[in-house]
């Protein structure tokens, strides 16, 4: 599995700045963004055992779903090419083409087959026409849900914990950006305390989504829903300024969809004295830099 030139374990980087010293909290960043330039942090973690299953059980390939800017599609396309596994992407929006976004261009270049489906149909994707045509009739394709969050994603994500805690104590909190909540679920599955900063608006439903995984029952979830900046993919000047300043201080690139919001929320909570003095916070950089806005 590790023939792909992946940087594992990914580095751990401690943030040094006065704000953290004043608040007496230690922030460590798990640099999963450095795992691979194309296979973004948590998407590698979630795909690892799915790819292994497709290989070991003789599947003809993997079919999955996403939008025109999906980090998941982007990562799977590269991984499929590198592993020699056929990949099929079902994309939301029948008005789109393989040239509609840099992400879709990349997927096409990597050899992913793209199918563009009308939005109403996409909503029923797992039951819909494309699913039956692609999976049942045509060939044995392994179905991986949108965002890559399935039962096989959890043990892959949990390996972050093994890497972070090798030779050090259990952090008080893992902090992670949340879209589907699969990454948070993987960390919770090991009984850790997990703060999930939602990248989308009205994210209270994520609590139930995450609780659907029985494995998560042992961990403690702190779901932060106030740092969405207007909704999924939305941002404003304040967020972009935060990202720029963070990058200048720490030489860690962030993007505006997930990790920028996560670090913004984390720093805001630290400023407000949310964390007990002496806390160790393990912020997981989940990657996604392919979608970074060019400023």
Ligand X SMILES: *Cc1c(COP(=O)(O)O)cnc(C)c1O
Regarding 66 and contact with ligand X (CB under 6 A), the answer is no
Instruction: Kindly state whether residue 175 participates in binding ligand X, applying the rule CB under 6 A.
Output: no
Judged by CB under 6 A, the number of residues near ligand X is: 19
Rounded Cα gap, residues 253 and 6, in angstroms: 19
Question: By beta-carbon distance, which residue lies closest to ligand X?
Answer: 288
Collect contacts of 163-168 with beta carbons under 8 A, ≥24 apart: 163/8, 163/9, 163/10, 163/12, 163/30, 164/12, 164/28, 164/30, 164/282, 166/9
Residue 254 found at the interface with ligand X (CB under 6 A): no
Query: What is d(CA 178, CA 69) in angstroms, rounded to the nearest whole number?
Result: 16
Interaction of residue 286 with ligand X, rule CB under 6 A: yes
Among residues 234, 222, 223, the alpha carbon closest in space to that of 260 is found at 234
CB of 23 or CB of 255, closer to ligand X: 255
Q: Count CB neighbours of 106 within 10 A.
A: 18
The token pair that represents 7 in the structure block: 């940087």
**Of the two residues 27 and 284, which places its CB atom closer to ligand X in the complex?**
284
Q: Which of 149, 189, 224, 256 binds ligand X (CB under 6 A)?
A: 149
CB-nearer residue toward ligand X: 50 or 286: 286
Q: Kind and range of the H or E element at 115?
A: strand 113-117
Q: Which stretch binds ligand X (CB under 6 A): 98-106, 216-224, 230-238, 285-293?
A: 285-293
Q: Which is nearer to ligand X, 136 or 220 (CB)?
A: 220
- Those residues whose C-beta lies under 8 Å from the C-beta of residue 66, and which sit 6 or more positions away, are 72, 73, 89, 90, 91, 92, 146, 147
- Six token digits for residue 123: 């909503």
Q: Does 67 bind ligand X (CB under 6 A)?
A: no
Compare residues 61 and 186 and give the one whose CB is closer to ligand X: 186
We find the least distance from the C-beta atom of residue 177 to ligand X, in angstroms, to be 4
Pick the binder of ligand X from 178, 188, 243, 282 (CB under 6 A): 178
| Interacting residues with ligand X between 183 and 212 (CB under 6 A) | 183
Under the criterion CB under 6 A, does residue 219 sit at the interface with ligand X? no
Q: Which residues bind ligand X (CB under 6 A)?
A: 40, 42-43, 71-72, 147, 149, 177-183, 258-259, 286-288
């Amino acid at each position: 599995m590790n023939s792909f030139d992946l940087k594992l374990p990914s580095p751990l980087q401690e943030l040094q700045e006065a704000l953290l010293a004043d608040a007496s909290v230690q922030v460590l960043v798990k640099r999963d963004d450095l795992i691979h330039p194309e296979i973004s942090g948590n998407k590698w973690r979630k795909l690892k055992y799915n790819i292994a299953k497709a290989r070991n059980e003789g599947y003809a390939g993997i079919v999955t779903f996403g939008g025109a800017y999906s980090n998941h599609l982007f990562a799977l396309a590269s991984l499929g090419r590198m592993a020699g596994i056929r990949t099929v992407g079902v994309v939301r929006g029948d008005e789109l083409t393989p040239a509609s976004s840099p992400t879709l261009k990349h997927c096409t270049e990597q050899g992913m087959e793209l199918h563009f489906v009308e939005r109403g149909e996409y909503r029923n994707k797992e039951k819909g026409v494309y699913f039956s045509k692609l999976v049942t009739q045509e060939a044995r394709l392994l179905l991986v849900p949108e965002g890559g969050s399935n039962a096989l994603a959890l043990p892959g994500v949990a390996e972050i914990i093994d890497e972070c805690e090798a030779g050090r104590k259990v952090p008080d909190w893992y902090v992670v950006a949340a879209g589907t909540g699969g990454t948070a679920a993987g960390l919770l599955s090991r009984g850790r305390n997990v703060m999930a900063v939602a990248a989308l608006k009205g994210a209270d439903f994520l609590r139930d989504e995450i609780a659907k995984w029985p494995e998560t029952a042992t961990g403690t979830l702190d779901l932060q829903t106030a740092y969405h900046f207007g909704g999924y993919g939305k941002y404003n000047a304040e967020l972009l300024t935060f990202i720029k300043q963070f990058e200048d201080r720490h030489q860690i690139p962030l993007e505006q969809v997930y990790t920028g919001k996560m670090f913004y929320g984390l720093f805001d909570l630290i400023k407000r004295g949310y964390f007990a003095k002496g806390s160790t916070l393990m912020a997981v950089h989940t990657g996604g830099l392919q979608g970074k806005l060019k400023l």
